[in-house]
Structure 1
């Protein structure tokens, strides 16, 4: 097989051809052997494509064109070898296979033969190869790569274009009067002379420029940021000669930097020595400002596109995608070869492809703004819906230069709109429900404020009456007077309980929250709850072991649970089931359905008491938490049970939700914040009250009844009392009295409040023990290191607190 000698022939011999339609080389048709032999002996790049499989056989010079594709390309499908340019080659290969020769002097191809995409140019001829007169078996190609020649020609044309542009710019500058100076630089002597306009442009002396100066003096006023680039440009033109154009800023005599363009030419001696460098200056300040404005406008446009999460793309005047499209490539994963022309449509959903193309072509034909929506397959295979807006850019002649478009991802918006449409009625229902909840919460807040104020005033009345009764106690004989006296004391106790309930609802009771294990608390309560419910009601407790501890006043939580159990018992006179269950609950957002409207997001424990009783209708349910509202018979309830539960829960940082339906029972859920720790601190024991040894007490209270009763109790306890009806009067007494051992002051007094009085008293007598008494149940603000006693209080409680103050103060 002499025809396979040398170079690529050895590669052909080493190739396993047994599994191809050609078979081993010794069996190849004579025309193929002949052309391969000629090809292998040629110094020009050549190749043969043979058979329906388009088998590629090539010589050594063509291997250089294949680059990294060699030697694996030998014996492979020609179009598979050049898969990246398959679209450019298919038609001309088919033409040759039809028996038609093809010749091209310059074909532009974007090939990937060295691991990257590159532009290449070839001249070639395709000649059909026949095994007989009728049939074409393949093609023969002789080709020459002319890439370097084309690139040189292109650079030459670009250089000539720049020269023409420079000349045109100079001519335009001359016509417009934009030339602002001329110079002549004698290079062998480094002697620069220039006219007066040049001197003004560079901030130099006209006289010095006329007589001449060195280049270093000329460029001294060039902006520091522009000077390195200027020096490089000058060095290059001095080395190569020819035309020169460069833009930079110079400092003028007005102290401002100004953009200029220097245009000149370096003349050289025959041996290449630079001789002279004449030139002119052109004012380009306005042009640079316009370019800056254009650049900023483009940046704003890009920022606007990014702000709407848009994908920017451009098409030519005919509506075909060309050039680099980084946004589209990043979105779809398509390469240039895949998206160019109308290839982008392959990334559009099949159901949307043709409608999109039709609508786009219609917009291009009419030259109008294109607005559309379709689905696009993202690079990861996910379909997303995009809104499209494209506008034509018009040139000075009124023709469309190109199209600029933006794809904006609107998937979430459209899905949200669909959900909104489907759930409009549900949304209206939720809004109505939330509005009712808010109105109810506001009503409860107003009623709570009113109830708290009433409780405060009532506590003052009870304190006055109680103080007087305490003094009269020793003078009341047994028999009917004593029974009446005892009844009066019981009335005060019941009144205090009533005000306590009102204050609980108003969230003004004194709470002592601490980490509390719910399961332990309920186990200790279970006997009491079972006795309260009676034998007709089955009682279940369901509290998982992993239920978190809660931060709550245990006594108040016990009272709330007991109140709810009593309500459940009264709602099941014929018996039923009461279930108490608890568990951890997390609230993600305020106003979630089934939760209290004003419950803040966070971690809670939900405690639910659900009965199978009579339940409530909607009007009754809407008023369930109102104080004094009850559906029980007269004398069977105060209407404060649920109000107390509501107030305790909210004051503890939680809330209450209630669900009920007439005839189907009621479920009340208390939400209590989870505790951060699980250790409760025991309160230190109170010291026993000690008898007074005629100590002096300063008593300040604006309520005459309270002041009179408290004075009587204090005197009964063995204290001397200095009474004052206001804070100002108490300060005067404190200043004038010989001695005061302890001061008792009311919290809410007109003029100077109890808090203000305490501050002034501590300024006058820093070590004075002070006891603050108040008809409110919450801890007063603005007092520190001060003991608080809540009205109404018994004489024993007063005595104990005074004993503590006097023993430690």
Structure 2
């Protein structure tokens, strides 16, 4: 009977040992002193030690020196308490290869209840440990990058709750990570923005969509600042949803600029409305002024022409009876009538400057001057010289023609000799042409150089020469309306020299 029992036990031991040699994990046994009593072949593969080298205290050689004390300390804890033990440590084979392992062991108890040692397993966890290490390094790199990013960064998990904010966020709010995670970050939202912000976030979260939202967030100094927040769903390598990551920037300055711009736009709209009304009113007034000018000139000219005709009829009918003095007075009367008619025409012309639209055209100044001189009909003995090479450019023809006609006409009209001389020249000043009209007439004293451009101002008594005093005022207004300037420069001896600038492209 004993022999059969022993044989059964031996058979069981052989089956256990055969099984232990084939399993892909290390199986070991030790006594109370930590001496190795048994290891399977898997131990020899991982440790690089033979069975003989591993028995007794030989196993210690395979444990990494930095982990040996940890292994020994943990092993002694299970024996008196009869508890299981899990511990991770490194094995190092004779060639220096390191293997991370997980050891699980329990106390071995004899039939009489006495602890006689421990028995356990060792599993190679190098691959898992590498993955965990890589993940840890990745998380560290992310934390470094996130904390040094120039924007605020946040993350949330599958429960929609915030589980991370970077240092930039904490610096902005002046709070701790513990205060901001979960729903703590919402405490800094402006009360007016809270509902809209939460609704936008949860709706996008449920639909796994990106979102962009603006809200006000309290800064560390208690001031609410406008924030532009962009949230994006995160996915794991296998495509499963992992939560959200977002970035936020302070856009308060931009927001204020937008508000200011909107205010300016509204102000500009109001100004445009006022300007449109003013323009319409001005157009109405201009039309009324044109109508008044037309009616006034017609009503004023009609009696003037009648007075002139009556004086001519009287002079003809009473030619033999009127003394010479009376005939001279009738001639003076007609001269005053002509002056009055010229004054009316001049006032009309002056009032229309800048109000009448004139089309731009290509103007040959040489041909324009010849047309002006032909219309003025100067005495045959009067010489007008035009500098060769007068420009051809794009401008308003009629106003330029008026200026030349007035300046050349004045030179002829006020000259004291029939053999006078006028010279017209030009200089290119880049954006402008400077035209010069110079004569050898009696000239204008320096003290009157500014006075002659004032309307109704004349240097000669009107009784000695009929003159309205409007011509040069018209010239000045035309030139300045077109963006130029006119001056009368003193020259040695007699004569007058007028300089005026004219833009190559008329200012619109």
Note whether the superposition's TM-score is higher than 0.5. Answer: no
> Going by fraction, where is helix more abundant, 1 or 2?
2
TM-score (norm: length of structure 1): 0.26
Who wins on radius of gyration, i.e. which is larger?
2
TM-score, normalised to structure 2, is: 0.40
